[in-house]
Amino acid sequence: MEMVTLTIDNKKVQVPKDYTVLQAAKAANIEIPTLCFLKDINEIGACRICVVEIKGAKSLQAACVYPVADGMEVYTNTPKVREARKVTLELILSNHDKNCLTCVRNGNCELQKLAEQLNISELEFEGESHKLPLDDFSPSVVRDPNKCILCRRCVSMCKEIQTVAVIDTVERGIDTIVSPINGKSLNEVPCVNCGQCITVCPVGALREKDDTEKVWDALANKDLHVVAITAPAVRAALGEEFGFKIGTPVTANMISALKRLGFSKVFDVDTAADLTIMEEGTELLNRIKNGGKLPLITSCSPGWIKFCEHNYPEFLDNLSTCKSPQQMFGAVLKTYYAEKAGIDPAKIFIVSIMPCTAKKFEIKRPEMNSSGYPDIDVVLTTRELARMIKEAGFDFAEVTEEHFDDPMGDASGAGVIFGATGGVMEAALRTVAEVLEGASLDKLDYTEVRGTEGIKEATVQLNNITIKAAVAHGLGNARKLLDRVKAGEADYHFIEIMACPGGCVTGGGQPIQPSRIRSWINLMAERAKALYTEDKNLPIRKSHENPTVKKLYEDFFGSPGSHKAHELLHTHYTARENYPV
């Protein structure tokens, strides 16, 4: 790679010639403040916070988009630069809703951090504050246009990365806002509730629908048996809210915290992930052997399901009929568990802790009540759980419980890796391979479906059957893959799709990392490591060997794909050509 040498603040730096000044400064360990910038997502130089002085240039330049050149001299901290940044920030703050103490992003707001960093002690400009209505009609995402700073990160994520494109800048000049078309609510457009817009917003203009009060009320209700179920990706990221290093697994801390909050039982959704593999693996084998609709496409990501219903209704018959692990587990707990524990299912209140905002939408789907009761009562994101733990005031680092509760017990490693892109595929291959071979196999790690590439492909020879598989994460990649399938350019038996880039570990409900961290650290890879490490260290790593799942079939369902299993564990989908929500 061709390199160039430049000087930044009198420090010589050698970097690739396609770098920007911002990247070169980062390589030299020189921090340039940014606001609208988010690497690989929003690199437009719009906010002008990152301006620098370049010798020979007539004006200050935005470091995030200005290319390096051999011999260039850059100055990041001159009086002219500091003054320009301060004036720009003061103008942004002048019409910003400054109710910081009651904002969900208080303490984790990039605008707030910049005001501290640039030593803004008073505002010279008095802007005109917006008084626009709050958009809180979506079951998942709340949009507060009064806090929007027009950085356009959410627009880039929704339009360019996810290709959902339900929000954009509208109006002009001082009236410019970010909004769905014609002033509609997010609930009136084909938003898929993925929440990726929330994770890139630097302020509190976008947030999840907060359901913590519902949970506090349930925990205080002595007539209810309140159960928590947790997704695998939660344990890979929850620690970040309490100062743990990114990628630190905090399973025991999480279980302990939930018990101290007052939950009667804490169960692992990974058990239902194992159950999903049994049902989905059976479905895949049946379709291959009996000429069923192929490719079979996974159905555990509700953001992806809604995207498919809106944009690719012709693929609805390709979707696995399996409910997501969350919904399966709810149905099991309000039937099998209720029967075993002798508890009236009407008294069981299930709180699902998820890395996902789309799960809040999923529990409201009318078909998710096959037991006669809602499968799940409330969904909390990882962030909401963190807020409850902080509100309760105890030390998250303290561990008092080590394991999930019986009778659902600890799950397999295959269930754990569901939280990373490629994890569902790998878990399925572990089980399907042994079913086809009729024997235990040494191969457990299907590394060809791991990693953070947008689309991965694998061909696996199992007995006398060749299974062609593909994995896509992020809806933009899903669109590319499905368009290839539609055009006859790709042929697969099995496809895994996750709505969020990286899969659940970087879901819309996960801890929010600012641009200065997210732009330079691969969050999806670091968090996934926590899951793969846990998988490797567990004694059981195959879904079909999970003793809890075996007992479920022996005592209750009979066999995978049985009539009872279909009644409780499977579902159907709805074409949404006209975009009703």
Q: What would the pLDDT profile of 203-233 be if each residue is shown by its tens digit?
A: 999 999 999 999 999 999 999 999 999 999 9
In 442-514, DSSP assigns E strands to 455-462, 465-473, 494-498
Q: How far apart are CA 362 and CA 369, in angstroms?
A: 11
The answer to whether the pTM exceeds 0.85 is yes
Q: What is the pLDDT of residues 478-494, one digit of tens each?
A: 999 999 999 999 999 99
Residue of 256, 301, 320, 352 marked catalytic: 320
Q: For residue 165, give both structure tokens.
A: 């494109």
Q: Which CATH architecture has domain 3-92?
A: Roll (3.10)
CA 156 from centre of chain: 17
The interaxial angle of helices 269-290 and 325-332, nearest 10 deg, is: 110
Q: Which of 87, 81, 68, 71 is nearest to 19 (CA)?
A: 68
Cα–Cα distances (Å) from 77 to 83, 316, 367, 426, in that order, read 10, 56, 59, 50
Q: Which of 494, 388, 505 is nearest to 446 (CA)?
A: 494
CA distances from 349 to 73, 316, 323, 344, 354 (A): 63, 31, 19, 11, 16
Helical (H) or strand (E) element with 446:
none
Catalytic position from the list 323, 359, 360, 542: 359
Confidence (pLDDT) at 464: 78
Alpha helices in 421-468 (DSSP H): 423-437
Which amino acid type is present at position 451?
G
**6, 72 contact by CB (below 8 A):** yes
Query: What is the pLDDT averaged over residues 244-271?
Result: 96
Contact 519, 390 (CB under 8 A): no
CATH class of 130-208: alpha beta
CATH topology of domain 213-569: Rossmann fold (3.40.50)
Q: How many helices, marked H, and strands, marked E, lie in the chain? A: 21, 17
Q: How far apart are CA 511 and CA 164, in angstroms?
A: 22
pLDDT of residue 437: 67
For position 439, what pLDDT does the model report? 67
The structure tokens listed for 232 are: 């695998």
Main-chain dihedrals φ then ψ at residue 439, nearest 5 degrees: -155, 160
**Domain locations in the chain?**
3-92, 130-208, 213-569
Catalytic annotation, pick one of 504, 526, 542, 543: 504
Rounded mean pLDDT of 549-562?
Answer: 95
- 151 carries an active-site annotation: no
As given in the structure block, the two tokens for residue 188 are 């009136």
Taking alpha carbons only, the member of 384, 387, 360, 386 closest to residue 374 is: 360
Per-residue pLDDT at 130 exceeds 90 = no
On the question of pLDDT at 580 being above 60, the answer is: no
Q: Residue 268, SS3? A: strand
pLDDT tens digits for range 513-554: 999 999 999 999 999 999 999 999 999 898 988 999 999 999
Would residue 362 show up in a list of annotated catalytic residues for this protein?
yes
From the list 83, 339, 367, 554, the catalytic residue is: 367
Query: Residue 573: which of 323, 263, 370 has the closest Cα?
Result: 323
Q: Which residue in 21, 5, 15, 17 sits closest to 74, CA to CA?
A: 21
Interior angle at CA 330, CA 327 and CA 331, nearest 5: 90
Greatest Cα pair distance in the chain: 79
283 is catalytic: yes
- Catalytic residue of the set 208, 280, 384, 526: 280
Q: Print burial letters for 135-163: b (CB count within 10 Å at least 16), e (below 16).
A: bbebbbbbbbbbbbbebbbbbbbbbebbb
In the annotation, is 504 catalytic? Answer: yes
Q: What is the pLDDT of residues 309-358, one digit of tens each?
A: 999 999 999 999 999 999 999 999 999 999 999 999 999 999 999 999 99
Mutual angle of helices 475-486 and 302-311, in 10-degree steps = 50
**CA–CA distance, 423 with 525 (Å, rounded to integer):** 13
**If you search the block for the tokens 């079979």, which residue do you land on?**
296
Rounded-to-integer distance, Cα 485 and Cα 296, Å? 12
Query: Across the chain, what does the average pLDDT equal?
Result: 94
pLDDT tens per residue, range 455-470: 999 988 877 788 899 9
Q: What is the pLDDT of residue 442?
A: 73
378 CB-contact burial (10 Å; exposed 0-12 / middle 13-18 / buried 19+): buried
Question: Of these residues, 43, 283, 426, 496, which one is catalytic?
Answer: 283
> Which residues lie below 8 Å from residue 549, measured CB to CB, with a gap of 6+?
271, 274, 275, 278, 543
Q: Is 154 a catalytic site residue?
A: no
Choose the catalytic residue: 362, 426, 496, 526: 362
